[in-house]
Structure formats: C-alpha cells, structure tokens
Structure 1
Amino acid sequence: MPALYVIGRILFAALFLVSGINKFLDLQSAAQAIGAHFAVPAQLTEYTSQIETFTGMPITQVIAILGGAIEILGALAIATNLGARTFAVLLALLLVLTVFYFNDFWNAAATERTASLFEALKNLALIGALLMIAGRPRELAASGSSYTDI
C-alpha cells in the first residue's frame, strides 16, 4: 500500500477519533445536542423506554455513547485497514443521519442557512470519502511494494 494512501487514511481517521473521544469526554453535551435535534418516533417509544430502563440512561445518552463508539472504532479500523470497509459504511450511515437531523439548512433561518449548508456539504464529502474506502477492492499481497512507495 503506497505511503501516501496510508498517511491519508490515518489523517482522515483522526477526525472521527477526536469526534468520538469528545463525545465521551462531554457526554452530557453530546446527549443534549442529540435531544435538541432528534425526537424518537412514536412507533419506537416502547423500545426506547425498554432501553432506558435496561441501561438506566436516557435514550439520547445511549445514542451519544453508540455514536462515539462507532466513531472511535471506525477511526481505528480505517487507520489500521482492519475492518475498514464495514466501519466506513457504518460511519457513512451515521453521517447521513447527522446531515438529516443536524444540518437541516432547508429549515434554517437565513442567517444560519449558509453555515448549515456548508456543514451539510462537508458531511456529504466525508460520506463520499467513506464510500470510496468501502468500495476499494481488497489488496492482493504485492510482491515488490512497500510502505515507501509513493
């Protein structure tokens, strides 16, 4: 695997690693942000109340923990290329939900619309990069390549 590709994977993974760690460092703020943008559909309240009873935590906190764990594990998977395709798909799905619930520029006030639009576009670009990782074919053991290949 060429050196630039390895470096790029590590740098790309850093975003998700830091984001996931920050969720755990300030779990209350992450849960509040989720609660401000996401409402549990009525059809799922029975299940979410069971989850809340089982965990002893509000569902927004459970979602924040799951999101942070997916980000950290996904970052490590992408950086090390172990399970990278699977976690790239999971991270892409997480970002799709983020765009839908957090970057609703279509409903934003005029003053916030541009910032929200560019945040959504950034997330769409990240989804594109994750899909490139997920769609990259497995590498065959190359006989003469090394990490110094550029």
Structure 2
Amino acid sequence: MDVLVLIGRILFVALFLSSGVGHLTQTEQMAQYAQFKGIPAPKPAVFASGVLLVLGGLSVLLGVWADLGALLLFIFLLPTAFLMHAFWKETDPQAKQTEMISFNKDVALAGASLMLFAFFSYVGSDLGLTLTGPLFNL
C-alpha cells in the first residue's frame, strides 16, 4: 500500500510542480494573462500562486506535512477555477468549452486535494514513505 500511495503522490503532484515552476520562471507572461482575466495585482498573484503550487506539490511529494501540502493545493485550485476559468462569461462557443474543461479539471483536482488532506490527516503516521507525520489530526 505504501508504494501505491507514493506512486499516486508522484503522479498527482507532477502537474502542480511543473505549473509552479512555470509561474515562477514565466511570471511576466502569466501576469499578462492574469491581468486579461481581471486578476488584481497580477504579478504578485502569479508569484504567490507559484509558491503555493511548489510548496504544496513538494510537501505532498516528499511527505513533509503532506496534509498541509494538499490543503495548499486546494487553496490554489478552488479560487483559480472561478477566477481564471469563468466559462459562464464566455460568448464564443469554443472558448466557453475550453474554459469549462479547465474549470471542471480545477474543481475535480480541488476535490482530490481535499480528500488527500483528510486522508493524510486521518491516517497520520501510519502511512509509510513520508518524511514527517501530518500537521493536522482529524
């Protein structure tokens, strides 16, 4: 079971770590897109979201307070779905479809992150192949 959970953690965080690195290395370009989407203070928002992605991803990957890492990913994902992928505002059918897919992906990943938070918090130190136990105890 421990190895399966480790493999799942690796697969789960690959998206977040690569995206977080992109946020931190391509801040200008991403800030322009965030500004287009109406995000206030887009450059600091892109940088802060990149930090959330990297910290949350590394935490889940390495098993260092993995519950907190999953919570950080949830905190990133749910607002991002509504702020960056507001498909209901789109009038072009193709853009609407693209934003709806991204919105649904973010909401689904937010749900998975919330479940991981509960899982890591509940199972605690019984889950092997982590560097620390959970920060929270459910």
TM-score calculated relative to the size of structure 1: 0.76
What is the percent sequence identity of the aligned residues? 29
**In the aligned structure 2, how far is the partner of 1:123 from the partner of 1:39?**
17
Matches within 5 A, 1:1-150: 2-40=2-40, 59-109=41-91, 110-136=93-119, 137-141=122-126
Deviations 1:77-121 (A, max 9, x none): 000121221222222121111111111111112222112111111
CA contact (8 A) 2:58 2:69 kept: no
User: For the structure 1 residues 121 and 91, does the alpha-carbon distance in structure 2 shift closer, same or farther, using more than 3 Å as the test?
Assistant: same
Structure 2 residue runs without a partner (length 5+): 130-138
Larger Rg: 1
Report the 3-state secondary structure (helix = DSSP H, G, I; strand = E; otherwise coil) of the residue aligned with 1:38.
Answer: coil
Deviations 1:112-145 (A, max 9, x none): 2112111111111101110111111133448xx8
Q: 1 or 2 for the larger relative contact order (CA 8 Å, sep ≥6)?
A: 1
**In the aligned structure 2, how far is the partner of 1:75 from the partner of 1:39?**
23
Instruction: Give runs of ≥4 in structure 1 deviating > 2 Å.
Output: 138-142
